[in-house]
Structure 1
Amino acid sequence: MAWRDAKASKVRLFLFMASIILGIAAVVSIQLFSTNLKDNIQSQSKVLMGADFIINSKQEPTARAQAIIDSLKPNASEVNFVSMIAFPKNGGTKLVQVRGLKGGFPFYGKIETQPASVAGTYQSSGGALVDATLLHQFDVKPGDSIKIGQLTIPIAGALKSIPGSSAISTSVAPPVIIPYRFIEATKLLQFGSRKEFQYFYKTSDTLNLKQLEDRLEPRLESENADLRTHIGSTQRLGKRYDNVGKFLNLAAFIALLLGCIGIASSVHIYIKEKLRAIAVLKCMGASRLQSFLIFLIQIAGIGIVGGLIGSLIGVGLQGLFPYLLKDFLPFTLEISISAQPIIIGVFLGLFMSVLFALLPLLRTWYVSPLEVLRVDEQAVQEPLIVRVIVFAAILVFLFLFALWLIHDALYAVMFVGATVITFAILAGVAGLFIKTIKRYFPKSWGFTARQSLLNLFRPNNQTVVLVVAIGLGTFLISTLYFTKDILLAKTEVGQTSENANIIILDVQTEQREAVAQNIVSKDLRVVNNIPMVTMRMHSIKGRLVNDIRQDTTSQVRQWILNHEFRTTYRDTLTDSEELQEGKWIPRLNPGDPVVISISDNLAGDAKVGVGDTIVFNVQGVLMETTVGSIRKVDWAQMQINFTVVFPAGVLEDAPQFNVLTTAVQDESSSAALQRDLVSKFPNVSIIDLRQVFTLVEDILDKVSWVINFMAFFSIITGIIVLIGSVRTSKYQRVKESVLLRTLGAKNSQILQISAFEYIFLGLLGSLIGILLALVSSLGLALFVFKEPFAPSLIPFVVFLPGITLLVLAIGLSNIRTVLKSSPLEVLRREV
C-alpha cells in the first residue's frame, strides 16, 4: 500500500525528498571537509612550520637568550623585517618582507621556485628569491636585480611558496629571501626598525617537545623571546580554523532547518489530503497501526533515499572546498573520503524526516472512520500532550544536533533559542496578519480581491507555512548582504585631502626635516609628523614585570609583559580618541611628575586605572609614570593610534624615530613619491593605505564569496521548500477553482484570485524577512561592530520583488489545468 500510494503521489513526494537531499548534502559536505582539514593539519604539522621547533625574538637576543639558543644548536637561522625595495630596471618600488636565511631551512617540505634548482643554490650563488606575483607585477624576471637598502643583488629565481606562509599573509608584504650574510650590507637594521630573529631546529623523534616547551618557555619569555613547536603551532592553527568550521557548520544547520520546514509543511498538506482515504481504509477494517505504518514506511523510505542521495552529493562537493579556501590555507588540502559521513547522512535523513513528519503522521492514528461521511474541512487534531511531546523531541534533536556541530552547549542553546524566536516571530506576524484581515476585511473591494484575501484565512490556508518559509530564507540572505556592507564600511579609507593615505615609517631623527621637505616639494602636505619612542614596562603598581610573569595567579595579560611599546608625545587628542576617565594633560614642565594617558584596552589587560603607577624602561633608563587618563581608541580607523601617549615636554630628548603621513590623489603620484623617497632614504618603509584597502576589500570579497556559496545551500533549500509548500496547496486550490468555474467564474477571475493571494503571501513573507534582517544587522552594527549602519538597497530592490514574483509564478502554475480544461475533465484527472 505504501509503494502504490507513493507512485500515485510521486511529484509531491519528490519535493519532500528534495528538502532532505539539500539539507543532508550541506551537512555531509561540511562535516567531511572539517574532518579533512583537521587530518591535513595533523599530518602536515611539520611541513607547515618547516622545522620541529623555532625560537624567535622581536629584538636581538639577550646574552641569556642567546646562550639558550646556542646550547640547543640551531640548524638554521633567519632575520626578517619589512622594508621597501626598488627595481632598478623600471624604477618600481614595493613594501616587502625581507628574509635573510642561513642554513638548510626548511627541514620539512620545500621552497618552491622557478626554476626549481635555485631553491638549493641561491645562498651559494648570492642571489635573491623574489615572490613570483611581485615579479609579474613589475615585469621583471630572474637575472634582473633588486635594490634592498644599500644592497643591489641579482634575482636568482621566482619564489612560489615556502613553509609557514599563506596567500593572504604574503599579499600584505610579499617575501624576498636573501642569504643571511648580505643583511649587514643593506644598512636597514637601524634604531626603531621592526625586525625578528628566528632560529630553526630539527630534532630526533625521541625528544619530548612538550616537555622542552614547558621547561624553556618561561625562561625565554623573561628574555623577551618565544619558543614554538610544530605541535603547538598545529593546535593554534586548528583553533584558528575551528571558527571557520563553526561558521560552516551553522550554515549547514540553517540549510537543514529549512529542509525540516519543507518536510513538516509538505507532509502536513500531504497527510491532510489523505485523511479521507485513511477513514475509508478504517471503514474497511484497517487498524490504526496499519494506516499509520503505510505512511510511516513512505516517509522513512524517502528519508533513507534522500539521505543517501544528499550524502553522495556532499561527497561530490569536496572537490570545491580546496578551491574555495586555497587563499586562506597555508597548505594544499588533500581530500580523502570515508564511509562515516555517508552513514551519518543516511541516518540523519531517516531520523529528521520521520521526526519532523511525526506530528502530521500521528493524525492518521487519530482519524475516525466517520471522517468519510463528514464534510467539515477542519482536520482531525491529535491530543495536546502528543503535540507537546513531539515539539519537545524536535527541540531536543535541534539542540543535540547543534551541540554535535559546534561543540559548545551554551552556543547550541543560544542558536536553537534564536531559531525558535525567529520562527515564532514569523509565525506570529503571519497569525496577526490573518486576524487583521478577518477583523478589517475590506467588504467594499471587488469580487476577485475579496476571494484572494479570504483564501488567506480559510481552512487549508498556507499563510503561516509560506510566510515562515519565505521569511526565513529572505532573512538569512538579507542579513548576509547587510553584514557584508558593515564589514566593508569598517575598512573604508577616505580619499580626501584631509585623510592621510601614505604612511612613511622608520624616519630617523636626522632625516625628519629632509623627508618632510621632499614631500612638500611635490606639492603635497605633511598631514602628521609623529615621533615614536620605544620602551618596555619595568613594573606595574610597584610589582616587577618579571615577578608578575612568574605569578600563575596574575590576571595581567601576557602580551603586556613582553611587549615593546611604541609610544608618542603630543598635546592634543586625535579624532579616533575619546577621553573616558581622568584628565587629559597636554604638557608638563621640567621636574613635574610624569602623567600619561593609556588606551582602555591596555587599562583592562594590565589591570590598572587612573592614579596607578607604571615604570617604563626607556632604552635602559627607568621612568616612573602615573596614569592620568584613559582613552577609548577607535582602532578600526586606518590611522596611527597608540596605547600609551605622553604629554609634550617629557620625551623630546629620548632616542626616537618619526612616522610621517601625507595624502596623494592618485596612483601615479603615490608611485613617484615612493620612488623618490626610497632612492634618497633607503631605510624608510612606505605603506600606501589605498593598496591596503584594496587588499582588505579583496579578502572580504573572497570571504563573502565563501559565505555566499555556503548560503547557497540555505537559499536553494528555501526555494525548494517554497516550491513544495506552494505546489502542495495546488490540490486544494484546484478543487476550489473548479467549483468557481462550475459556478460561472471566468478564467481571468480565477487567475486574478490566485495571483492576488500569492502576491500577498510573497510580499508579506519577504518583507518580514528583510525587516527582521534589518533589525538584526542594526544590532550587529551598534553592539558588535560599533559602526553606523547604512543598509544596502539590494534586499529591497532585488529580493522583495524577486521572491514575490517567484511565489506568484509557482502559484499560477498550479492552476494551469483548471484554465485549459473543462471542470469535469479536471475533476476526473485529479481523482
Structure 2
Amino acid sequence: MLNLLKHLFSGWAWKMAWRDSRPVRWKLLLFSASIVFGVAALVTIGSLRENLTDSVSSQAKSLLGADLMLSSREPFSEETQSVIDEITDDGGVEAKEISFTTMLAVGEDAAPKLVTVRGLEPIFPFYGQVKTEPEDAWQKVQQSPGLIVEASFLKRMNGRVGDLAKLGEKELPIIGVLRQSPPSGSGFAAMSPTVVTSIDVIKDSGLLGARSMVFYRSYFKLPKTVDTQALAKANREVLGEQRVRQVTSQKRSENVEEAINRLYLFFNLIGFSALFLGGIGVAGAIHIHISERLQSVATLRCLGCSAARAFAVYLAQCIAMGVVGTVAGIVLGSGFVYLLRWVVASLPAGLLPFAVEVAPVGWVIAKAAGVGLLICICFALLPLLAVRQVSPLAALRREEAAMKQSGRDPFRWLVIVALVALAFGLTWMDSHDAANGWKTALGYIAFLGLAFLFLLLAGKLLRWLTSLIARPSWPFVVRQGIASLYRPNNQTGLFMVSIGLGTFLIFTLMLMQSILLQWLDPVRLESKPNLFLVDVPPEQNAEVGKLITDTGVKMLGNAPIVQMRLTEIKGQPVSELVGPDVKDGKRIPRWIVRREFRSTYRSELTETEKLSAGEWVADYQPSADGGVIPVSFEDGIAADLGLGIGDEVTVSLEGFGETKKLRVASLREVDWRSMDLNFFIVFPPGSIDDYVSFNVMAAHSPSDESTAQLQQAMFKRLPFVNTIDLSLILKTVQSVLSAASKTVQIMALFTVVTGGIVLVASILAGRRIRIRESVLLRTLGASRKQISQILAVEYTLLAAMATLAGSSLALVASVLLGNLVFDGESYQVPWGLLFTSIAVVISITVALGMLLSRGIASRPPLQILRSQ
C-alpha cells in the first residue's frame, strides 16, 4: 500500500496518465459525468436543509411567538393559575388566547365555511410580527370589534374589506386581510382558514357557552435569566395533573427540525441512489477502458514497470475523473441552490412561517465532494484491480484472459465491503437519529442491494435464456443480435442496472400517484361521508336531520357523544402510571392523562370495524354485571393502556361529576383511514344514554350546491353547529400531494438523468468493440443494413428486459402498497398506463442507442484490419 501511494504521488504516474488518456480523453470526461447529478443532488438537498434548520434555530421563538405556552381545553384551574402567577411574579409577561372552530360567512348569500377563530391580546406575539393589509388592521381590531381574515377565505366568499361577517350573535366588519398570521400553538391551524380578533370579541360572541372545541392558551415572555426547559420540567407534574400542555420555543423548533430532517433524509436517499448508479456507470466504463488498455499495461511491464507503478497510472486517471465529475456536480448543485433562492424570494409574503436565506453551505459542499470522490474511486477500483495482475506475458495473450484473474482478487471484496460500510455510515449519519437511524440505513442498503441484485440476475437470466432459445433457423440479424448479449465484454448487466433502476423509481412514483387518485376517486367516495356536522344538541337532532334531508344530502350516521376521562386503570390512578418511576404494571403514555375521550353507544359494529377478541355486547343489563358497564376498546388504545379482556377501568363523565366502572368485553380493529364515525371506546345502548353532550352526524352531499345550501340553512338556524366539509379538505390534500409528487419526481430525475448518462457512456464505451464486430461481419459479407438491424435487435432486447425488470419491481411495490392502503378493497393496476410507459421507455432507449451507434456500420473494413 505504501509503495502504491509513493508511486501515485510521483510526477511520473500523472504524466503517464495524461499521455495515456489522449486518445480517449473525451470518453473519460463523459464517464465522469455519471456522478455529476448525484453530487449535485447532495449539494442541493444538503444546503437547503442546513438553510432551513439554521433559519429555524435563529428564529425558534418566532415559531411560537413566545418562550413558553400553556394550553388547555378548559379554563385554567386554580392550580394552573398559581403556576402562571409564579411565572409572572418572576418577571414573565403573559398574553392570553382563546380559540375555537366555528362556521363563518361574509355577506348574505355566501355559504359559511369552517374557520379557526383566534382571540388574542394585543401584546402577542412577543417574537415575530403580524402582517396585515392595511398595515394598521392589527391595531384597529384591538381597539374596535372586527375581524382580520385570510386572503384566500375572503376570495372564496367573494367578499372584501368592510363587509360584515356573522360570528355567533354578533355581526362584525372585516377590518383587514392577514399577510402573515400570528404564530400558532396548534398543529391543526392549517386545516382551516385563520380569523383573528380581540379576546373581548370572543368572550362576547356567545359561542363559548356552546359545545365548541375551545382552547385556552397563555403565552409567556420570560427573562433571559430563566431556563425555559428547566421551568417546564419543574411544572410538568402539576400541569400534567391539570391536563395542561406545555410547549417551549425550543421544543417547537425541535419538532420543525425533525420534520425537515425526515424530508431531507428521503430526498438525500434519492441523491445517494443517483450517486451509486453513477458509480456503477463509472465501474462499467473503467472496465471497458482497462480492457482496451491491457496491452499497454503489459508493454509497460515488459519495459520493467512494476505492477504497483502501472496500477498508479490508471488510478490517477480514475481520481482525475472523480475530481472533474465532483467539481461539475458542485457547480451544478450550487446553481440549483441559487435557483431555489430565487424561487423562495418570489414566494408571496407570509407563505413561509419564517424567513429563509438560501445559499450553498461550505461544509455540505465539502461533504458531497468527499462522498462523490470516494464512491467514484471505490467503484472504479473494482475493475481497475485487474491492472495489478497483468503479467508481461499478457502482451502475447488475449486480454480477456488477464481480466478474468481479477475475479479472484480478495481486494475486490474489501472494496465492496468499504462501499457497503460507506453507504450505511452516511445514511445513518444523515438520519439524525442515533437510536433508530441504523434501521433506516440498513433498510436503504437492503433496498439498494435487492434492487441491484434483482436487476443483475435479470441480466444473467436474459443472457442465459437468449443463448438457450436461439435457433439456427432464425433470421441472421436476430441470431447475431441475441449473440451480442452474451459476447465477451458485453454490457448487459450495466444496461440492466442503469435502465432498470431509473425505470423502477419513475414507475413507482407513477403507480403511487395512481393509488392516491383511486383512493380519492369521487365514484369510490360516493358511499363515504364527505360532511360532518359537529356539536349538534341532542334535543335538536330531529331538526338537523330534517335540514339534511330537505337539502338533498344523504344521512350516513348519527353518533351521540359522551365526553369522559380515564381516572383509573385496573384499580390504579392513571396519574401513578405515567411517571418514570412506575414499577408495578405497565407505564402508559402521558397524553392519556390529558386526553378527553369522546365515546358513543351503539348496538352493532360498523363497516369500518372488525371484532378481534371477546364478545360484542349489544344491550346493557345493569343487574347482570353489578353496575360495571361492558364496553369495546379499540386494539391500539387497549395495547397502550395494557388492557385485555376482563380488565376494568374507571372513567369520569365530563360535565356531570359522575364516575363509571367499565369492563373490557371486546376488542376491535378500526380502520381510522375511513374518515367515518370511529371511536376508541364504544358502549352498549342503555348504559350512558343520559350523559350525552352533543351529537356528531355523518352525511354525503352529492354536489357543492347541496353542501352550500345545507351550510346556509344550518348557519341561519343553528350557527353553533360546525359543518366540516371534507371535500374541501380532500382538495387541499390533493393539491399538497400533487406538489409533493412533483417535488419527488424532480428529485427522481437526478437518478433518471444519471441513468441516461450511464447508458450513453456505456454505449460509447463499447463503440470500439461494436465497430470491430461490424467490420468482421462486413468482411464476411454482411451489409450495412444488416449490421444496423443487429444493433437494433440487441438494444431492443436490452431495453425490453431492463424496463420489464424495473417495472416489475415497481409493480410489486405498488401492489403491496395498494393492498395496504385499500385494505381488502379492489386496487386496480393501471395496466394501460403501465404498458404505454414501458413502450415509451423502450422506444427512447432504442432510439438513443441507435443514434449513438450511428456510423458503426459504415467504417471501412481495411482501416480496422490494418489497426489490428
TM-score range, shorter chain: over 0.9
What amino acid sits opposite 2:607 in the alignment?
D
Q: Distance in 1 between matches of 2:214 and 2:693?
A: 16
| Partner of residue 613, structure 2 | 581
The corresponding residue for 2:834 is 796
Partner of 1:248: 267
| Residues 447/357 of structure 1: CA separation in 2 closer, same or farther (3 Å cut) | same
Secondary structure of 1:97's match?
A: strand
Spell out the pairing of 1:542-553 with structure 2 (5 A cutoff).
542-550=571-579, 552-553=581-582
Report deviation, 1:698. 1.3
Any idea what the Cα deviations from partners look like across 1:687-719, whole Å, max 9, x if unmatched? Answer: 112222111111111221221121111111111
Q: 1:697–1:827: structure 2 CA closer, same or farther, 3 Å change rule?
A: farther
Pair 1:346-2:346 in alignment: no
Contact 1:166 1:331 in 2 (8 A): no
**Distance in 2 of aligned mates of 1:156 and 1:453:** 76
The change in CA–CA distance for 1:247 and 1:785 in structure 2 (over 3 A counts) is farther
14-23 or 160-169: bigger deviation: 160-169
The answer to whether the aligner puts 1:180 opposite 2:212 as a matched pair is no
SS of aligned partner of 2:689: coil
Q: Please point out which of 28, 31, 47 is paired with 1:13.
A: 28
**Partner letter of residue 385 of structure 2?**
L
Residue in structure 1 matched with residue 590 of structure 2 by the alignment: 558
Question: Which shows bigger deviation, 590-599 or 463-472?
Answer: 590-599
Instruction: Output one character per residue of 1:632-652: Cα deviation in whole Å (capped at 9) or x when no partner.
Output: 000000212111111111122
The DSSP-based 3-state class of the residue aligned with 2:855 is helix
2:813 counterpart of 1:776:
yes
- Structure 2 distance, partners of 1:180, 1:827, is 92
After TM superposition, give the deviation of residue 10 of structure 1 in Å.
Answer: 2.8
Amino acid at match of 1:415: Y
Deviations 1:378-426 (A, max 9, x none): 4522243232222222222222232232242232233213312221221
CA distance in 2, matches of 1:713, 1:818: 30
Residues 440 and 733 of structure 1, relative CA distance in 2, 3 Å threshold = same
Alpha-carbon deviation of 1:197?
A: 0.5
Q: Say whether residues 1:712 and 2:712 are aligned partners.
A: no
Cα distance in structure 2, aligned partners of 1:587 and 1:200: 47
Contact 1:20–1:349 (8 Å) recurs in 2: yes
Note the 1:64-75 alignment, pairs <5 A: 64-73=79-88, 74-75=93-94
- Secondary structure of 1:103's partner? coil
Q: Deviations over 1:48-74 (max 9, x none)?
A: 111111111012222222332344335
Counterpart residue number, 2:791: 754
1:818–1:492: structure 2 CA closer, same or farther, 3 Å change rule?
closer
Q: CA deviation at 1:825?
A: 5.0
Distance 1:521 1:106, change over 3 A: same
8 Å CA contact 1:12, 1:728 repeated in 2? yes
Q: Which residue of the partner structure matches residue 237 of structure 1?
A: 256
Aligned position for 1:457: 486
In the superposition, the TM-score normalised over structure 1's length comes to 0.95
Distance 1:376 1:214 in 2: 72
- What is the deviation of 1:307? 1.1
Comparing 276-285 with 354-363, which one deviates more in the overlay?
276-285
1:330 correspondence with 2:353: yes
Cα contact 1:535–1:565 (8 A) shared by 2: yes
**Distance in 1 between the 2:677 and 2:802 partners?**
46
Contact 1:305–1:346, Cα closer than 8 Å, also in 2 = no
TM-score normalised by structure 2 residue count = 0.91
Checking the alignment, whether the CA contact within 8 Å between 1:171 and 1:695 is kept in structure 2 is: no
The answer to whether the 8 A contact 1:466-1:726 is kept is: no
Q: Mapping of 1:120-519 within 5 angstroms? A: 120-164=139-183, 171-321=190-340, 323=343, 330-375=353-398, 377-380=400-403, 381-382=405-406, 383-407=408-432, 408-491=437-520, 498-519=527-548
**Root-mean-square deviation over aligned CA pairs:** 2.4
Aligned to 2:106: 87
Cα pair 1:580 1:631 within 8 Å, conserved: yes
Amino acid at match of 2:643: V
The one-letter code sitting in structure 1 at the alignment partner of 2:851 is S
Instruction: Verify the 8 A CA contact 1:308 1:342 in the aligned structure 2.
Output: no
Separation in 1, partners of 2:676, 2:592: 22
In 2, the alpha carbon distance for the partners of 1:406 and 1:63 equals 44
CA distance in 2, matches of 1:522, 1:599: 35
SS in 1 for 2:446: helix
1: distance between equivalents of 2:457 and 2:620?
63
**Corresponding position of 1:763:** 800
Which SS does the other structure have where 1:808 is aligned? helix
Aligned equivalents of 1:435, 1:65: Cα separation in 2 = 76
Query: Is the CA contact (8 Å cut-off) linking 1:378 and 1:459 kept in structure 2?
Result: no
Letter in 1 for 2:41: A
- 1:413-461 alpha-carbon deviations (Å, 9 max, x no partner): 3321331222122112221222222233222211110011111111111
| Structure 1 residue matching 2:215: 3-state secondary structure | strand
CA distance in 1 between counterparts of 2:524 and 2:711 reads 18
**1:683 aligned partner, one-letter code:** F
Question: Relative to 1, partners in 2 of residues 1:142 and 1:615: Cα closer, same or farther, differing over 3 Å?
Answer: same
- In the alignment, which residue of structure 2 is the partner of 1:813? 851
Kept after mapping to 1: 8 A contact 2:262/2:431? no
Query: Which of the residues 670, 688, 698 maps onto 1:661?
Result: 698
**Structure 2 Cα separation of the partners of residues 11 and 494 of structure 1:** 56
Q: Quick one: distance in 2 between partners of 1:76 and 1:643?
A: 35
CA distance in 2, matches of 1:270, 1:669: 70
Q: Give me the whole-angstrom Cα distance separating, in 2, the residues matched to 1:546 and 1:645.
A: 24
2:39 alignment partner in structure 1: 24
What is the one-letter code of the residue matched to 2:542? E
Q: For the structure 1 residues 139 and 108, does the alpha-carbon distance in structure 2 shift closer, same or farther, using more than 3 Å as the test?
A: same
Q: Does 2:636 match 1:597?
A: no
1:569 aligned residue: 601
Distance 1:679 1:469 in 2: 63
Distance 1:622 1:668, change over 3 A: same
Equivalenced residues, count: 830
| C-alpha contact (below 8 Å) 1:41/1:238 kept by paired residues | yes
Unmatched segments (≥5 aa) in structure 2: 1-15
| CA distance 1:810–1:88, shift in 2 (3 Å) | closer
Q: How does 1:734-749 map to 2 (within 5 A)?
A: 734-749=771-786
Aligned to 2:12: none
- Structure 1 distance, partners of 2:658, 2:188, is 36
Using the alignment, how far apart are the partners of 1:568 and 1:513 within structure 2?
A: 18
- Counterpart of 2:676 in structure 1 is 639
Change (3 A) 1:803 1:330: same
**Counterpart-to-counterpart distance in 2, 1:292 and 1:738:** 32
Distance (whole Å) between structure 2 residues aligned to residue 362 and residue 259 of structure 1: 19
Change (3 A) 1:827 1:422: same
Residue 481 to residue 523, structure 1, CA distance change in 2 (3 Å): closer
1:533: Cα distance to partner? Answer: 1.0
1:3 aligned partner, one-letter code: W
Output one character per residue of 1:123-171: Cα deviation in whole Å (capped at 9) or x when no partner: 1132211011111222211111211121111111001222435999555
Q: SS where residue 84 of structure 1 aligns?
A: strand
Cα separation, 1, equivalents of 2:527 and 2:573: 43
- Output the amino acid matched with 1:573: L
Alignment match, 2:75:
60
Q: Deviations over 1:455-483 (max 9, x none)?
A: 11111111112112211221122222223
Cα contact 1:477–1:711 (8 A) shared by 2: yes
